[in-house]
Protein backbone atom coordinates (compact mmCIF):
# COMPACT_ATOMS: atom_id res chain seq x y z
CA UNK A 1 0.00 0.00 0.00
CA UNK A 2 1.38 3.38 -0.99
CA UNK A 3 0.79 6.66 0.82
CA UNK A 4 -1.26 9.53 -0.58
CA UNK A 5 1.96 11.50 -1.10
CA UNK A 6 3.47 8.86 -3.38
CA UNK A 7 0.19 7.72 -5.01
CA UNK A 8 0.44 9.99 -8.11
CA UNK A 9 4.05 8.99 -8.80
CA UNK A 10 3.39 5.29 -8.30
CA UNK A 11 0.24 5.50 -10.45
CA UNK A 12 2.21 7.18 -13.23
CA UNK A 13 4.92 4.51 -13.04
CA UNK A 14 2.39 1.66 -13.10
CA UNK A 15 0.39 3.23 -15.94
CA UNK A 16 3.41 3.91 -18.13
CA UNK A 17 4.80 0.41 -17.55
CA UNK A 18 1.47 -1.24 -18.37
CA UNK A 19 0.87 0.94 -21.45
CA UNK A 20 4.34 0.16 -22.81
CA UNK A 21 3.74 -3.57 -22.32
CA UNK A 22 0.18 -3.57 -23.72
CA UNK A 23 1.53 -1.49 -26.64
CA UNK A 24 -1.71 -0.92 -28.59
CA UNK A 25 0.25 0.84 -31.37
CA UNK A 26 2.40 -2.19 -32.23
CA UNK A 27 -0.38 -4.44 -33.57
CA UNK A 28 -2.11 -1.63 -35.53
CA UNK A 29 -1.51 -3.47 -38.85
CA UNK A 30 -3.20 -6.54 -37.35
CA UNK A 31 -6.16 -4.50 -36.12
CA UNK A 32 -6.52 -2.91 -39.56
CA UNK A 33 -6.38 -6.27 -41.33
CA UNK A 34 -8.86 -7.97 -39.00
CA UNK A 35 -11.45 -5.22 -39.40
CA UNK A 36 -10.88 -4.12 -43.00
CA UNK A 37 -14.21 -5.57 -44.23
CA UNK A 38 -16.33 -4.22 -41.37
CA UNK A 39 -18.50 -1.13 -41.34
CA UNK A 40 -17.50 1.86 -39.17
CA UNK A 41 -20.31 0.99 -36.73
CA UNK A 42 -19.10 -2.62 -36.44
CA UNK A 43 -15.54 -1.46 -35.90
CA UNK A 44 -16.57 0.90 -33.12
CA UNK A 45 -18.58 -1.84 -31.40
CA UNK A 46 -15.76 -4.40 -31.70
CA UNK A 47 -13.10 -2.01 -30.41
CA UNK A 48 -15.29 -0.90 -27.50
CA UNK A 49 -15.95 -4.53 -26.56
CA UNK A 50 -12.26 -5.40 -26.87
CA UNK A 51 -11.25 -2.61 -24.48
CA UNK A 52 -13.90 -3.63 -21.94
CA UNK A 53 -12.98 -7.32 -22.13
CA UNK A 54 -9.28 -6.44 -21.82
CA UNK A 55 -9.97 -4.36 -18.71
CA UNK A 56 -12.02 -7.17 -17.16
CA UNK A 57 -9.31 -9.74 -17.86
CA UNK A 58 -6.58 -7.60 -16.32
CA UNK A 59 -8.74 -6.69 -13.33
CA UNK A 60 -9.47 -10.38 -12.74
CA UNK A 61 -5.76 -11.21 -12.71
CA UNK A 62 -5.07 -8.18 -10.50
CA UNK A 63 -7.66 -9.20 -7.91
CA UNK A 64 -6.84 -12.91 -7.99
CA UNK A 65 -3.10 -12.55 -8.42
CA UNK A 66 -2.21 -12.67 -4.73
CA UNK A 67 -4.41 -15.70 -4.15
CA UNK A 68 -2.80 -17.47 -7.09
CA UNK A 69 0.67 -16.83 -5.70
CA UNK A 70 -0.38 -18.07 -2.26
CA UNK A 71 -2.07 -21.12 -3.77
CA UNK A 72 1.12 -22.21 -5.49
CA UNK A 73 3.42 -21.05 -2.68
CA UNK A 74 5.19 -18.51 -4.88
CA UNK A 75 6.87 -15.48 -3.31
CA UNK A 76 6.74 -12.05 -4.94
CA UNK A 77 10.53 -11.92 -5.55
CA UNK A 78 10.37 -15.30 -7.30
CA UNK A 79 7.47 -14.12 -9.43
CA UNK A 80 9.33 -10.89 -10.22
CA UNK A 81 12.34 -12.85 -11.47
CA UNK A 82 10.25 -15.30 -13.51
CA UNK A 83 7.96 -12.60 -14.86
CA UNK A 84 10.91 -10.38 -15.71
CA UNK A 85 12.56 -13.19 -17.67
CA UNK A 86 9.31 -13.82 -19.59
CA UNK A 87 9.01 -10.13 -20.46
CA UNK A 88 12.67 -10.02 -21.48
CA UNK A 89 12.25 -12.98 -23.84
CA UNK A 90 9.10 -11.45 -25.34
CA UNK A 91 10.85 -8.13 -25.91
CA UNK A 92 13.87 -9.82 -27.53
CA UNK A 93 11.58 -11.76 -29.86
CA UNK A 94 9.79 -8.56 -30.91
CA UNK A 95 13.06 -6.70 -31.48
CA UNK A 96 14.66 -9.39 -33.65
CA UNK A 97 11.66 -11.10 -35.26
CA UNK A 98 8.95 -8.46 -35.28
CA UNK A 99 5.60 -8.28 -33.49
CA UNK A 100 4.63 -11.75 -32.25
CA UNK A 101 0.99 -11.15 -33.07
CA UNK A 102 1.78 -11.13 -36.81
CA UNK A 103 0.99 -14.83 -36.64
CA UNK A 104 -2.63 -13.97 -35.89
CA UNK A 105 -3.17 -11.87 -38.99
CA UNK A 106 -4.97 -14.72 -40.74
CA UNK A 107 -7.15 -15.67 -37.76
CA UNK A 108 -10.93 -15.86 -38.10
CA UNK A 109 -12.76 -12.60 -37.53
CA UNK A 110 -15.50 -14.40 -35.57
CA UNK A 111 -15.63 -12.96 -32.09
CA UNK A 112 -12.77 -10.68 -33.08
CA UNK A 113 -13.39 -8.36 -30.15
CA UNK A 114 -12.49 -11.09 -27.66
CA UNK A 115 -10.00 -13.09 -29.70
CA UNK A 116 -7.53 -12.04 -30.88
CA UNK A 117 -7.93 -8.30 -30.16
CA UNK A 118 -8.65 -8.33 -26.40
CA UNK A 119 -6.63 -11.50 -25.89
CA UNK A 120 -3.80 -11.92 -26.72
CA UNK A 121 -3.12 -8.71 -28.70
CA UNK A 122 -3.95 -6.33 -25.84
CA UNK A 123 -3.86 -8.61 -22.80
CA UNK A 124 -0.99 -11.02 -23.29
CA UNK A 125 1.50 -12.71 -20.94
CA UNK A 126 3.45 -9.48 -20.51
CA UNK A 127 0.44 -7.44 -19.40
CA UNK A 128 -0.72 -10.17 -17.02
CA UNK A 129 2.75 -10.43 -15.49
CA UNK A 130 3.04 -6.66 -15.14
CA UNK A 131 -0.31 -6.20 -13.42
CA UNK A 132 0.27 -9.08 -10.98
CA UNK A 133 3.60 -7.57 -9.97
CA UNK A 134 2.03 -4.11 -9.75
CA UNK A 135 -0.68 -5.23 -7.34
CA UNK A 136 1.89 -6.94 -5.12
CA UNK A 137 4.30 -4.00 -5.02
CA UNK A 138 2.01 -0.98 -5.42
CA UNK A 139 -1.43 -2.08 -4.24
CA UNK A 140 -4.82 -2.91 -5.71
CA UNK A 141 -5.96 0.70 -6.09
CA UNK A 142 -3.03 1.69 -8.29
CA UNK A 143 -3.29 -1.52 -10.29
CA UNK A 144 -7.00 -1.07 -11.03
CA UNK A 145 -6.73 2.64 -11.85
CA UNK A 146 -3.78 1.99 -14.17
CA UNK A 147 -5.81 -0.73 -15.91
CA UNK A 148 -8.70 1.67 -16.47
CA UNK A 149 -6.39 4.37 -17.86
CA UNK A 150 -4.45 2.03 -20.14
CA UNK A 151 -7.56 0.32 -21.52
CA UNK A 152 -9.14 3.73 -22.19
CA UNK A 153 -6.01 4.82 -24.07
CA UNK A 154 -6.02 1.49 -25.92
CA UNK A 155 -9.64 2.09 -26.93
CA UNK A 156 -8.66 5.51 -28.29
CA UNK A 157 -5.89 3.87 -30.34
CA UNK A 158 -8.24 1.14 -31.56
CA UNK A 159 -10.82 3.67 -32.71
CA UNK A 160 -8.08 5.45 -34.65
CA UNK A 161 -6.63 2.28 -36.20
CA UNK A 162 -7.34 3.19 -39.83
CA UNK A 163 -5.95 6.71 -39.49
CA UNK A 164 -2.86 5.52 -37.61
CA UNK A 165 -2.19 2.77 -40.14
CA UNK A 166 -2.46 5.19 -43.06
CA UNK A 167 -0.11 7.59 -41.28
CA UNK A 168 2.52 5.08 -40.13
CA UNK A 169 2.18 2.20 -42.54
CA UNK A 170 3.38 -1.31 -41.70
CA UNK A 171 7.01 -0.21 -41.52
CA UNK A 172 6.29 2.66 -39.14
CA UNK A 173 4.20 0.43 -36.89
CA UNK A 174 7.00 -2.15 -36.85
CA UNK A 175 9.53 0.50 -35.82
CA UNK A 176 7.28 1.64 -32.97
CA UNK A 177 6.83 -1.97 -31.84
CA UNK A 178 10.61 -2.45 -31.64
CA UNK A 179 11.17 0.82 -29.77
CA UNK A 180 8.48 -0.15 -27.26
CA UNK A 181 10.14 -3.56 -26.94
CA UNK A 182 13.33 -1.85 -25.74
CA UNK A 183 11.36 -0.21 -22.93
CA UNK A 184 9.76 -3.58 -22.12
CA UNK A 185 13.25 -5.10 -21.87
CA UNK A 186 14.31 -2.36 -19.45
CA UNK A 187 11.22 -2.92 -17.30
CA UNK A 188 11.89 -6.66 -17.37
CA UNK A 189 15.45 -6.20 -16.13
CA UNK A 190 14.18 -4.01 -13.30
CA UNK A 191 11.80 -6.80 -12.23
CA UNK A 192 14.61 -9.37 -12.29
CA UNK A 193 17.01 -7.14 -10.34
CA UNK A 194 14.35 -6.37 -7.72
CA UNK A 195 13.78 -10.08 -7.17
CA UNK A 196 17.49 -10.85 -6.99
CA UNK A 197 18.10 -8.04 -4.48
CA UNK A 198 15.59 -9.69 -2.13
CA UNK A 199 17.63 -12.90 -2.01
CA UNK A 200 21.04 -11.21 -2.28
CA UNK A 201 20.73 -7.79 -0.60
CA UNK A 202 23.62 -5.39 -1.15
CA UNK A 203 26.22 -5.44 1.60
21 is a domain residue:
yes
Cα–Cα dist 131/59, whole Å: 8
Give tens-digit pLDDT for 103-150: 444 444 447 888 878 987 899 878 888 898 888 788 899 999 999 999
In a domain, 20, yes or no: yes
pLDDT digits (tens, 9 = 90+) for 21-78: 998 988 888 788 778 888 899 899 999 999 999 999 999 989 987 788 889 998 878 8
| Non-local CB neighbours of 38 within 8 Å, separated by 6+ positions | 46, 109
User: Looking at the domain assignment, is residue 1 inside a domain?
Assistant: no
Of 131, 162, 132, nearest in space to 148 by CA? 131
**Rounded mean pLDDT, 84-99:** 81
Residue 185 resides in a domain: yes
pLDDT reading at 198 higher than 50: yes
Domain that holds residue 37: 7-199
Q: Exposed (0-12), middle (13-18) or buried (19+): which is 130, by Cβ within 10 Å?
A: buried
Per the CB < 8 A criterion, the answer to whether 48 and 155 are in contact is yes
Rg of the chain over all Cα atoms, to the nearest angstrom: 17
The pTM assigned to this predicted structure is 0.77
2 within a domain of the structure (yes/no): no
Altogether, the residues listed in the chain come to a count of 203
Q: Is residue 184 pLDDT above 50, yes or no?
A: yes
| Vertex 34 angle, CA 30 and 40, to 5° | 115
What is the C-alpha to C-alpha distance for residues 163 and 72, in angstroms, rounded to an integer? 45
**Residue 75 belongs to some domain of the structure:** yes
Instruction: Please state the domain count of the chain.
Output: 1
Residue 135 included in any domain: yes
Could you tell me which residues come within 8 angstroms of residue 114 by beta carbon, excluding any fewer than 6 positions away?
49, 50, 53
Terminal CA-to-CA distance of the chain, rounded, Å? 27
Determine, yes or no, domain membership for 29: yes
Amino acid sequence: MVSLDTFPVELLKATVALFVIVDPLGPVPIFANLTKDLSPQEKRRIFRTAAVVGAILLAAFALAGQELLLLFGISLPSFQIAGGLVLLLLSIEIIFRGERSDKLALASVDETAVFPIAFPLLVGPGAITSIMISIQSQGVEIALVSIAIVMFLSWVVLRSTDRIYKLLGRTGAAVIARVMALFIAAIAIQYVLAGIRFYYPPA
